Amino acid sequence: MIATAKAIAILALGAGYASAFSLSMSSALIVQNKGGGHGELGFQLAKNLSSNPKITSITILQDSACNDAKHPFASYASDIPNVKIVKADLADESMTAAMVQSLLGESYDYVWDNASKGAVGAGKAVVDCAKEWNSKLLTYVSSAGIYKPDNVFPMPETTAVKDIAGQVLYEQYAKENGLPFVSFRPQYIYGEKSNKWDYIDYFFDRLVRKEPVPIPSDGSQKVSLTNSADVASLLASVLNDEAAAVGQTYFNCGTDQLLTYDKVALMCAEVAGVDANIHHFDPALGKAAFPFRMTDFYVSPDMAKSKLGWEGPKHNLKDDLAWYFESYKARGGMTKDLDLSKDKEVLAPSSV
C-alpha cells in the first residue's frame, strides 16, 4: 500500500508537471515580408526565439513574392529547420482573417508582424486574427521613418508621427481593437544574410574605385546602424515583461552606438585598405545616392532597456565591417556597374 500510494503520488506529481508544462507552451507566428530593409528580420527573430524557453513552436507566414534563391529565404531550411513555413500573397488586399486562419490551421499565442504596412488586406487580417486567437501579444515592426523630427535627438518615442503613414494606421487599428499591442520603430539595418545592402555598400562602392565619397554638409551628422540580430533581440525582449511592453506600447529600435557619416566612411576605408576621399556637398544640390538623411536622424533604445530589460547590442559596426567587406566582394561589389553621374552633380564646383 505504501508503495502504491507513493507511486500514485509520483504519478500525480508528474501529471502536475505535465499540466504546468502544457500551460506554459506558447506558439509564435512571424509574419514576414518579401524582402527589403526588414527582409531578414523574420529569419533572425525565428533564430532568436528558437532558443527562448517561453516559445515552443514557431511558424513563419511568408510573403510568397520573396525570392527563395536569395538570403535569408534560401537559409530557412538549413538555419531554422524546425520552423514551419507557410506562404501566402501578403500583397493581396482582399485577404481576410478567415483566409489567414485557413492557411495556418491553428491559433497563436504570440504574433510578430514584420510585413504589414497598413490596416488593409493582410495587415488588417493579422490584427483581426490576433484578436480572435486571444493572443497574449501582437508585436509590430513599424519604422522610425514615420517620425517628423523636431531637432530633438535622439528622437524620443513621443516624437510626432506622419498621420497618414501606413504603419501609423496599423498601430491605430490594433489599439482600437483593444489588443495587447507593442510597436517597434527600427532605423537603418544591416546584417549577415541581409536582403538589403545599400546603406554600407554606398561607401565601399566609391572607396574601392578610388572615387570621391559624397557626404552632405560637414559629415558630423549621427546615424544609428543596427545589426539585424540585435534588432531581433529587441523584438524578442517583449517576452521579458509583457505587461511593461503593452504599458509603454511604442519602442524605438536601434543600437546606442552612434557614428557620424564621416566616421562610417573612414571605418570602411580602413577595412578596404584605401584612403577615404571624402567630399562634403551642399544638401541643397540634391541627395544623389546618399543612403541616409541629410540631417541627424537617430533614436535611442533607452526605453527598451529600462522597460524590457534589453541588455543592449551584441554587435558593432566596427567589428562587423570585416565580414561585411568579405560579403561585399563575394557579391561582386568590386566589379559591378556603377552609375556615379548623380555624385558628379552634387560635387560640382558650387558644392561645399
> What does the DSSP assignment read for 81-98?
TTSEEEEE-TT-TT--HH
Give residue-wise pLDDT tens across range 99-111: 999 999 999 999 9
Q: How many residues does the chain have?
A: 352
Residue 17 lies in a domain: no
Give residue-wise pLDDT tens across range 308-339: 999 999 999 999 999 999 999 999 999 999 99
More confident residue, 316 or 1: 316
Grid coordinates standing for 124?
Answer: 488588417
| Amino acid making up residue 189 | I
Determine the pLDDT at residue 288: 87
Banded model confidence at residue 16, pLDDT cuts 50, 70, 90? very low
Which domain CATH number covers 178? Answer: 3.40.50.720
Residue 105 lies in a domain: yes
**Chain mean pLDDT for the chain:** 91
Determine the pLDDT at residue 348: 82
Residue 80 lies in a domain: yes
Determine the pLDDT at residue 8: 28
Residue 11 lies in a domain: no
Determine the pLDDT at residue 349: 64
Banded model confidence at residue 282, pLDDT cuts 50, 70, 90? very high
Residue 9 lies in a domain: no
Determine the pLDDT at residue 15: 33
Mean pLDDT, to the nearest integer, of 163-175?
94
Domain count of the fold of the chain? 1
Q: Which domain holds residue 98?
A: 24-346
Determine the pLDDT at residue 11: 30
Banded model confidence at residue 32, pLDDT cuts 50, 70, 90? very high
- Neighbouring C-beta atoms of residue 15, cutoff 10 Å: 10
Residue 12 lies in a domain: no
Grid coordinates standing for 138?
Answer: 501582437
Residue 226 lies in a domain: yes
Helix (H, G, I), strand (E, B) or coil at 153: coil
Give residue-wise pLDDT tens across range 204-258: 999 999 999 999 999 999 999 999 999 999 999 999 999 999 999 999 999 999 9
- C-alpha span between 193 and 81 (Å, rounded): 16
Determine the pLDDT at residue 350: 52
**Cell 503593452 belongs to which residue?**
246
Give residue-wise pLDDT tens across range 40-84: 999 999 999 999 999 999 999 999 999 999 999 999 999 999 999
Q: Which residues of 123-141 are buried (b: 16+ CB within 10 A; e: fewer)?
A: bbbbbbbbeebebbbbbbb
Determine the pLDDT at residue 18: 31
Q: How many CA atoms lie within 13 A of 219 on its CB side?
A: 16
Residue 254 lies in a domain: yes
More confident residue, 24 or 83: 83
Is the confidence at residue 192, as pLDDT, over 70? Answer: yes
pLDDT cut 90: percent of the chain above it: 88
